[in-house]
Amino acid sequence: MLMVLNSCRNAETKEESGAKKIPASTIAETIKELESKFPSPDKDSDKDLIRRGVELTAGFWIPSDGSPEEFKTFCLDNYNPQNRKLLLERFSKNLEAVYGCFMRIGAVVQFPLHVGNDPLLPADKTFAAWSPGAHLNDDWFGNKLAMILHLNFPYYSPEERNAGGLAWNDEENAAVNLGLYFASRVPGSLQQAASEIATRAELYVSDYNIYMHNVVDENGRRYFPEDMRLISHWGLRDELKSSYADKTDAGLAKQKLVFDLMLRIINQDIPREFVNAKGNDYCPTNNKFFRDGKEAAFERENDERYARLLEVFRAEKSFDEFSPLYPDAIRRAFDQGLEMTFDEVEKIFTTVLSAPANKRIGQYIARRLGRPLLPYDIWYDGFKTRSSVSEAELTAKTERRFPNAEALERKLPEILQFLGYSKERAGEICSRVAVDAARGSGHAMGAGMRGDISRLRVRVPETGLNYNGFNIAMHEFGHNVEQTVSLYDVKDYLNSGIPNTAFTEALAFIFQKRDLDVLGVVENNPDKQKFTDLDIYWGAVEIMGVALVDMYAWKWMYANPEATPAELRGAVVAIAKDVWNKYYAPVFGIDNSPILAIYSHMISYPLYLAAYPLGHLIEFQLEQHLAGKDFARETDRIYSIGHRSPEVWMTKATGSKLSPEAFVRKIEGYEF
């Protein structure tokens, strides 16, 4: 695959790599002639638009687009401020149709990959790897539609959007958002190759299941039911978390086995034939494999996890030379994707991870557990109400109520009504959401255009939806509600959506934490608010370390682009231990744990993990704002703010900017 990617790049980018920039003199002449053609002596802003548009268009221009003189002619012919509003409407309407149809096609061809238990055919994997929009950049730069866009709607940085965003009306904000489109000119062949590599990584993750009945301790004892199949890392983590409700020795034993499994996956010494296969037993504690009841030699997984990550990295790196605004994957993930810089996000995380309150919380958790902390207590789940209710009781409730995906879909309106939405509004939103039984742990897929639906995918065993599945479903349903409202209730398509993935995660967390309320589980606890805040905070502390490992791993790969999978494994483990020792060892009293490297997002979702802890911070501020207010009315209002810069969105939603200090101060004020 990498050979194909490189050959495509060499074949299709020969001209681009040798391209000469439009001369500065031509750019200056073009700007001067446009200022003469459209005089506005009292409007510096109009001159600024001309300058930005011409300079940006010149940055994307390549020899096949035409000579410098043809560049100037193109700008003079296609810059027209009098029809700017009409051009904005044209782009808005047509982009909704284009991206909406691409997303609809993707949902159809990827359906077998995401839904059901039928065997995956070779054709299914090829369909899923096909990206219908892979050549859109080629087409729109080739016919110069992207050039017209950049000329008339230039790019504004996150800092500029924060500074001006509150004063912009909807039309002005839509114009700035349009300038964020087509920020790179990556050849379609590279995009298609990268899509195939991403699909390969996703398949590796979605098929990474452990049959838990075959996991045994050092004495050969089994602790897990025969039909339990858990995906890594999500299923393993959730099983570990659920075991906090089991106060017997078996609960602790299960947690230790899951933790040992995670370490084997991180270090890649788990038996290859044990992954996604049942029948043979494995003890992760002593790394012994049993075939037909007898200990047997085995082949370890041999760093396939890190080979997939390297493939994803190299595919992303191949885009760098075609992304003048965001010239590496890290900046594309942060400056472009999150609209926040790497350094800004890192500072937020380290501020929280360095808070003195963390050690006090760790001591409090240890007292509640009645034992010293262990590394997997980063997933301590005892602050949630369900910690006093057994997993079996909760699963009995969910299996009766949701025996299949169809039952969950029918009851979605009831969930929204319980949360305060009117019957009519609940029906309106839920008519645009469909539920499918997922092959993996579950996800939400939003619609790309009005008239389409959002999709909620969750794994539903034959016995019905278990509690872990319902908890995930509530999270994904939060995504669906946001996806629906932020599309249908925003006037202009270009303003639809939210600032970045952290915001949709925050809104999903808000739904997820109300899962027990929906199930009718009531906790009369005077410390409920404190425990709620501690739960959010401890979850943020956990995922911030995981995100830092992901972030630092990408920096390492950029510094070592020719690394082998084994070298990358060594680096990731070392990074995980370093982050642990700096921020977690003082809390846990244990050094050198690599557990922060377990997340599967690292493999198939490049640099996505930072969105989760940012989501926790946003969730905290939103919950503070929602306290005492009409939940349905306020969430509807907040979801319909649309795509603004993160700072502007938070100010409109809550009246204040995103800040870790308020989060930390609130926690430090509690007595433990």
Domain termination residue (choose one: 496, 519, 542) = 519
β-strand partners of 456: 435, 444
Report the alpha-carbon distance of residue 151 to residue 340 in Å, rounded: 25
Residue 509 has pLDDT above 50, yes or no: yes
- Tokens 């897990």 locate to 224
Report the alpha-carbon distance of residue 617 to residue 378 in Å, rounded: 17
pTM value is: 0.80
Angle of helix 44-60 versus helix 68-78 axis, rounded to 10 = 140
- Decide: residue 622, CB within 10 A, 0-12 exposed, 13-18 middle, 19+ buried: buried
Residue 221 has pLDDT above 90, yes or no: yes
pLDDT above 70 coverage of the chain, percent = 96
β-strand partners of 271: 300
- Record the tokens describing residue 128, joined without a space: 């899923």
The confidence score (pLDDT) of residue 1 equals 36
The confidence score (pLDDT) of residue 11 equals 41
Domain total in the chain: 4
What is the rounded average pLDDT of the residues 95-109? 93
What is the rounded average pLDDT of the residues 257-272? 98
Contact of 378 with 595, CB cutoff 8 Å: yes
SS3 564: coil
Average pLDDT over all residues of the chain: 91
Whether 14 is in a domain gets the answer no
- Record the tokens describing residue 478, joined without a space: 């939060």
Angle of helix 357-369 versus helix 660-668 axis, rounded to 10 = 50
The confidence score (pLDDT) of residue 387 equals 52
Domain termination residue (choose one: 519, 550, 571) = 519
Whether 390 is in a domain gets the answer no
The confidence score (pLDDT) of residue 576 equals 98
Whether 116 is in a domain gets the answer yes
Cα angle for residues 390, 594, 200 (degrees, 5° grid): 85
| pLDDT digits 0-9 by tens, 389-413 | 788 899 999 999 999 999 999 999 9
Of 55-64, 115-124, 184-193, 520-529, where does mean pLDDT reach its minimum?
A: 520-529
Contacts 24+ apart (CB under 8 A), 22-29: 22/58, 22/61, 22/68, 22/71, 23/68, 26/58, 26/68, 26/69, 26/71, 26/72, 27/54, 27/55, 27/58, 29/72
**Banded model confidence at residue 41, pLDDT cuts 50, 70, 90:** low
Contacts 24+ apart (CB under 8 A), 124-129: 125/199, 125/203, 128/199, 128/203, 129/195, 129/196, 129/199, 129/200
Looking at the structure, tell me whether residues 585 and 664 fall in a common domain.
yes
Looking at the structure, tell me whether residues 35 and 173 fall in a common domain.
yes
The confidence score (pLDDT) of residue 662 equals 84
Looking at the structure, tell me whether residues 300 and 356 fall in a common domain.
no
Looking at the structure, tell me whether residues 414 and 368 fall in a common domain.
no
The confidence score (pLDDT) of residue 658 equals 86
The amino acid that residue 646 corresponds to is: P
Looking at the structure, tell me whether residues 212 and 344 fall in a common domain.
no
Looking at the structure, tell me whether residues 47 and 179 fall in a common domain.
yes
- Measured from the Cβ of residue 386, the count of other Cβ atoms closer than 10 Å reads 22
- Decide: residue 294, CB within 10 A, 0-12 exposed, 13-18 middle, 19+ buried: exposed
Of 31-35, 289-293, 500-504, where does mean pLDDT reach its minimum?
A: 500-504
What is the rounded average pLDDT of the residues 169-180? 96
Residue 13 has pLDDT above 60, yes or no: no
The distance of Cα 14 from the centroid of its chain, to the nearest Å, equals 34
Q: Using omega within 30 degrees of 0 as the cis cutoff, is the peptide bond preceding 150 cis?
A: no
Domain that holds residue 433: 399-508+515-519
Contact of 563 with 548, CB cutoff 8 Å: no
Strands 454-458 and 433-437: what pairing? parallel
Q: How many CA atoms lie within 13 A of 118 on its CB side?
A: 11
The confidence score (pLDDT) of residue 189 equals 84
Looking at the structure, tell me whether residues 278 and 358 fall in a common domain.
no
Residue 46 has pLDDT above 90, yes or no: no
Contact of 145 with 192, CB cutoff 8 Å: no
- Measured from the Cβ of residue 381, the count of other Cβ atoms closer than 10 Å reads 18
Whether 359 is in a domain gets the answer yes
Residue 656 has pLDDT above 80, yes or no: yes
The confidence score (pLDDT) of residue 92 equals 97
The distance of Cα 292 from the centroid of its chain, to the nearest Å, equals 41
DSSP for 135-201, please give it: THHHHHHHTTHHHHHHHHS----HHHHHHHGGG--HHHHHHHHHTTS------HHHHHHHHHHHHHH
| pLDDT digits 0-9 by tens, 73-85 | 999 999 989 999 9
The more confident residue out of 128 and 289 is 289
What is the rounded average pLDDT of the residues 372-383? 95
Phi first, then psi, for residue 434 (nearest 5°) are -115, 145
**Banded model confidence at residue 131, pLDDT cuts 50, 70, 90:** confident
> In 3D, which of 599, 604, 539 has the Cα closest to residue 233?
599
SS3 457: strand
Residue 6 has pLDDT above 70, yes or no: no
**Banded model confidence at residue 425, pLDDT cuts 50, 70, 90:** very high
Looking at the structure, tell me whether residues 65 and 158 fall in a common domain.
yes
| CA dihedral of 84, 88, 89, 95, whole degrees rounded to 10 | 150
Q: SS3 breakdown of the chain: % helix, strand, coil, rounded to 5? A: 65, 5, 30
Looking at the structure, tell me whether residues 413 and 503 fall in a common domain.
yes
Residues with Cβ within 8 Å of 602's Cβ and at least 6 positions away in sequence, in order, are: 309, 549, 550, 553, 572, 609
Report the alpha-carbon distance of residue 610 to residue 599 in Å, rounded: 12
Contact of 501 with 436, CB cutoff 8 Å: no
Looking at the structure, tell me whether residues 113 and 45 fall in a common domain.
yes
| CA dihedral of 550, 554, 557, 559, whole degrees rounded to 10 | -130
Whether 606 is in a domain gets the answer yes
The confidence score (pLDDT) of residue 296 equals 97
What is the rounded average pLDDT of the residues 640-655? 95
Contacts 24+ apart (CB under 8 A), 621-627: 621/650, 621/654, 621/656, 621/658, 621/659, 621/662, 621/663, 622/506, 622/507, 622/510, 622/653, 622/654, 623/510, 623/532, 623/536, 624/654, 624/662, 624/666, 625/653, 625/654, 625/655, 626/510
The more confident residue out of 301 and 525 is 301
The amino acid that residue 334 corresponds to is: F
> In 3D, which of 345, 341, 339 has the Cα closest to residue 179?
339
Whether 211 is in a domain gets the answer yes
Report the alpha-carbon distance of residue 204 to residue 206 in Å, rounded: 6
**Banded model confidence at residue 20, pLDDT cuts 50, 70, 90:** low
Looking at the structure, tell me whether residues 123 and 165 fall in a common domain.
yes
The confidence score (pLDDT) of residue 12 equals 45
Domain termination residue (choose one: 458, 487, 519) = 519
Whether 631 is in a domain gets the answer yes
Looking at the structure, tell me whether residues 346 and 406 fall in a common domain.
no
Whether 189 is in a domain gets the answer no
Residue 210 has pLDDT above 90, yes or no: yes
| pLDDT digits 0-9 by tens, 340-355 | 889 989 999 999 999 9
Residue 209 has pLDDT above 50, yes or no: yes
Residue 552 has pLDDT above 60, yes or no: yes
